[in-house]
Amino acid sequence: MSNSNSPTDVSSYRGEATPETLREIARYFIYIGIVGFGGPLVHIAMMEDDLVADDPDDPAADGWTDQSTFMEGLAVCNTLPGPASTQLGIVMGWVRGGPLGALVAGGAFMLPTFLLVVCFSWIYFAYRTVPSVEAFFYGITPVVIGLIVGAAWSMGRSALAEGRTDTSVELRGETWEIDYLLAVLLVATVLVTVLINPNPVVAFVVAGLVAVVLYRSAWVRANLRTGVVWVIVGAALGVLYTFRDRLLDRLGPSAHGAVEASPVWGILLVLWSNTWVMLFVFMLYTGSFIYGGGLVLVPFIEKYVVNEFGWLTAREFVDGVAIGQLSPGPVVMTTAFVGYKVLLDASGGLIAVAVLGALVATIGAFGPSFVFIMGLFPYFAKVRENDVIQTALKGVNAAVVGAILGATVTLARESFVVDGVLDPLTVVLAAATFALFVKGIDAVYLIFGGGAVGIAAFFLF
């Protein structure tokens, strides 16, 4: 592929699929999926090192693409919802082998992690009552809390520096450039998530709108009439959805009866009552809005899977995140753990059905990433350059960190309180994990270390 294309002329990125090319893509991404421990930054660095041509005038000679195409793909993937490294892998597959190459790249990249998560899920649900396994996860649970907070620490530093630099402070030897507005949005999202626990998407949209109104006031004034109409429509729809039950109650039994008698409503109820459909639709929804990285999964799962649907307990979910962290792939693969548990319960303990449930959850969670790259990539490349969109994303980034921290507060209560009493060892483990993780210690080592501490504490005390 010539590098004469402009960075935004991404419709010309697609390569051609041949059997040899598809085998090459599959081999490379299975390799990445097996050895890519260390998270998205490691995956991205490996792809840049292995797939970007050394000779910019002839990318086909020793690589799959040129540096400008790779960086444009990375920039767009960082703008999209979903795991950036997985999406970048899909982009590289698309560059090399077209739509088929994108499917092969994404599938091969996720396959090793999927198999590991399913294997760990089977071990967890089959043997978690065994004392040694129970002790291992006793030590892992607070470690995961520390890892999430540590990741949010890094994300927060980046998010707060995206706006104006209102002040600079030294924290743990690092210089933080802080925008006061973004800091307020972050803290406000933490408080709202802890106290109200709204739909995370609502929090992200509100934060984005606030950022646009305050940072782009001239644009808002120039488009005031159109903006007011959309705000009114959005607010009305939000109010109707939030108070839908009260509204129907006020309209009387006849309104309830009319809704319930509607054929469309009946079909929707039948579909939603099916566990497979409910699982897939929820994961599809989640995968479409986990903007900012895989850990954005945390507030979505905590609100719905734990609190609304009751599919997992809070402790099971935290253990599922740990299992996701033990694999070399994206944390989003925790969805396979969720799907495994949901169908394990629904099938009465059938392992084969549970594995299919894990597969359905994975397809739902990662499906939007394929759609975004294969169908909407050129559109997102253009939208990314829009100043108003970029301003909104600054607010969204701050809210994302706040939502993760807010959901983690709820999960920490379950992790730190054992039999109604605060367990000091779990608090110490979480704090130590945070301190070590922000210093660069790999999550896998910390998880196994926490498990070892848990086993030692269980048998010694």
% of the chain beyond a pLDDT of 70: 86
Pair 322, 220 in one domain? yes
pLDDT for the residue 410 = 84
Domain count, the chain: 2
- Is 237 inside any structural domain? yes
- Is 8 inside any structural domain? no
Lowest mean pLDDT segment, chosen from 118-127, 263-272, 273-282, 291-300 = 263-272
Residue-range definition of the domain harbouring residue 248: 114-460
H-only helix segments in 128-223? 131-160, 180-195, 200-215, 217-222
Pair 418, 312 in one domain? yes
Pair 357, 278 in one domain? yes
- Among 16, 27, 23, 80, which Cα is nearest to 50's? 27
Task: Say whether pLDDT at 16 is over 60.
Answer: yes
Pair 118, 91 in one domain? no
pLDDT for the residue 15 = 74
Domain termination site, one of 112, 138, 171: 112
pLDDT digit string (tens) for 234-248? 777 666 656 655 655
- Is 136 inside any structural domain? yes
Pair 151, 82 in one domain? no
pLDDT for the residue 59 = 55
- Among 13, 103, 100, 4, which Cα is nearest to 51's? 13
Pair 66, 137 in one domain? no
Domain termination site, one of 95, 112, 129: 112
- Rounded (5°) CA angle 213-217-218: 145
- Among 428, 420, 431, which Cα is nearest to 454's? 428
Integer Cα distance of 342 and 354 in angstroms? 7
pLDDT for the residue 40 = 80
Instruction: Decide: 102 and 17 in contact? Cβ < 8 Å.
Output: no
Helix axes 314-326, 443-460, angle to 10 degrees: 130
- Is 2 inside any structural domain? no
Pair 403, 300 in one domain? yes
- Is 4 inside any structural domain? no
- Is 367 inside any structural domain? yes
- Is 5 inside any structural domain? no
Section 163-181 average pLDDT: 85
Average pLDDT, the chain: 84
Pair 216, 325 in one domain? yes
pLDDT for the residue 430 = 94
Domain termination site, one of 52, 86, 112: 112
Query: 174: which 2 tokens?
Result: 């690092």
Pair 57, 104 in one domain? yes
Section 367-377 average pLDDT: 86
Pair 378, 286 in one domain? yes
Integer Cα distance of 310 and 404 in angstroms? 20
Pair 172, 108 in one domain? no
Pair 39, 126 in one domain? no
